[in-house]
Chain A
Amino acid sequence: MRSICLPRAAWAVLAGVSSCAFALPAMAADEAASADTAVEAASADAVASSDSTGSGDMASPGEASHRMNAFSNGGRLLLTGGVSTIEGAGGGGLVPWALIGGYGTRDEFGIQSYVTGVKSEDFALLSFGAAINVKNRLEVSVGRQNFHLRDVGKALGLGNDFIISQTIIGAKLRLVGDAVLDQNTLVPQISVGVQHKINDDKTVVGGALGLKRTGTDFYIAATKLFLDKNLLLNATVRLTKANQYGILGFGGLGGKDQAYKPTFEASAAYLVTRKLAVGAEVRTKSNRLEGALGGDSFREDAAYDIFAAYALGRNLSVTAAYADLGHIALQNQHAAYLSLQVGF
């Protein structure tokens, strides 16, 4: 596996020493651990690269293994970073988990990127973004959501192609626990996170509804992996002012209902194989806009989904889900969800 290393300082380059503050590994052409292929081919490459690591610096295996990990491609087990939520955080499809995204161990950095499409009766949502994970401790993400109103936009006189867009900047910090390693305790992995959302829309959200276009969600998530039962459970509590995840702005109409409200989110996943997990999620919403502009067009319900996530390898995961997004605009929305996550 090659990697690109950015030296800490010019003097280090001159001295011929490369001490990497940040290592961005190249995409691995092979993954000896995840491919159940002949060991012979892997061993020839592996012994060769191991020899080149060992020769010339007399490093102990421990030193070599730590140095190798600064360069490498993410050492944690497949699926244990979750996938990317529609808001860009590591977790399930809808719910952010306490897991730090990607596969970086306590010694490593990594990057994941994702693109997700959600299509329901009346809407389509395209979400894409990227996250950096640092030493299995910190996750920083940026994501973009394009929410296509389609027929509803047409009904509002905005045309068939009206889009409400939003940018989400997120950060998540693991406080305690390691969901995979701590198999002898009931203490979960616990993380706290923020998601700052900036909605671009001045026509509907800023205009017709007169709502705030920025808001910040705060959440705390607890994730526990019961490995001997093949079961992952997660519970998340979020403080939010967002309407429909922020797509319909923040807070209630006319400046009312501006207080943070808690919403509750949960996921359960069953590990079928090393590479495949299936699960379900629920996410409640704070329903501030019910009754807005008359009627129950803006009533918000809880959203549910069932999903399957498959890790093709260390660099690529795909997630398919079916979601009941509850009532959005005029009817219950049932959506097909597909997400691709590429990681380094």
Chain B
Amino acid sequence: MMFSLLAAGMMAVHPVPGTEPQVSDPAVKPHYPTLPVITQNEHLYETFGGKEGLTALMDDAMTRWLANPRTHGFFANADQARIKELLVKQFCVIMHGPCTYDGRTMAEAHRGLNISEGSFYALVEELQVAMNKRHIPFNAQNRLIAALAPMHRDIIDNK
């Protein structure tokens, strides 16, 4: 039991070499990959409904983020379509789907936004609600969130 937990812990991060976005500002030092691929096949990607499913998920999540006072301010004046497109690509790559991510690192994308821990969790919670609405199994949801959680150091309080 312990050994498989150990192995699971190590398998949580497995960035595919060559696909991590480059940092354009050398002053920025990411703490964690933007594209930690967490699985070796497309089963998880299919559980999320593939590209169509992720697109619908992000459409719903964005509506919720705009409605939640803790996240609203970060999206209200942003290019929501582009953010949704990038999130679909990012999640797709993380789940070993056939996509290419053409956005920035998490560290650069969130630099200067000064996002609080509460806003970070509010985003996660709205994503959970959106995933529930699409009947994505709870364990699949948690595998995605577990992949995203370590990005907190590049997102929270990133002034």
Contact = CB atoms under 8 A, between A and B. Distances in A.
B8 A228 contact: yes
B-side interface mostly: helix
B54 interface: no
Given A43-B67, A274-B132, A33 B9 contact: no
A77 B118 contact: no
Given A69-B116, A107-B117, A180 B72 contact: no
Interface stretch (B88-96, B100-108, B141-149): B141-149
B138 A75 contact: no
Contact of A65 (B13, B63, B70, B139): B70
Contact of A75 (B12, B118, B143): B118
A65 B116 contact: yes
Interface string A215-258: 00000000000111110000000000000000000000000000
Interface residues of A, number: 47
Interface in B125-147: 125-126, 128-129, 132-133, 138-139, 142-143, 145-147
Contact of A105 (B38, B116, B147): B116
Contacts of B5: 226, 229
Interface stretch (A55-63, A124-132, A315-323): A55-63
A15 interface: no
Contacts of A72: 70, 118
Contact of A230 (B72, B133, B139): B139
A331 interface: no
Nearest to B73: A61
A160 interface: no
B115 interface: yes
A184 B12 contact: yes
Nearest to A53: B69
A271 B138 contact: yes
Interface string A146-184: 000000000000000000000000000000000011111
B12 A274 contact: no
Interface in A284-303: none
Contacts of B118: 65, 68-69, 72, 75, 105, 107-108
B152 interface: yes
A181 B70 contact: no
A76 B121 contact: yes
A272 B142 CA distance: 11
A183 B116 contact: no
Given A72-B118, A108-B118, A181-B152, A62 B142 contact: no
B69 A66 contact: no
8 contacts: A32-B64, A36-B133, A54-B73, A68-B116, A76-B117, A108-B118, A184-B12, A185-B9
For the complex of A and B, 3 pairs with smallest distance between CB atoms: A62-B114, A75-B118, A61-B73
Interface of A: 32-34, 36, 39, 42-43, 46-47, 49-50, 53-54, 60-66, 68-69, 72, 75-77, 105-108, 136, 180-186, 226-230, 271-274
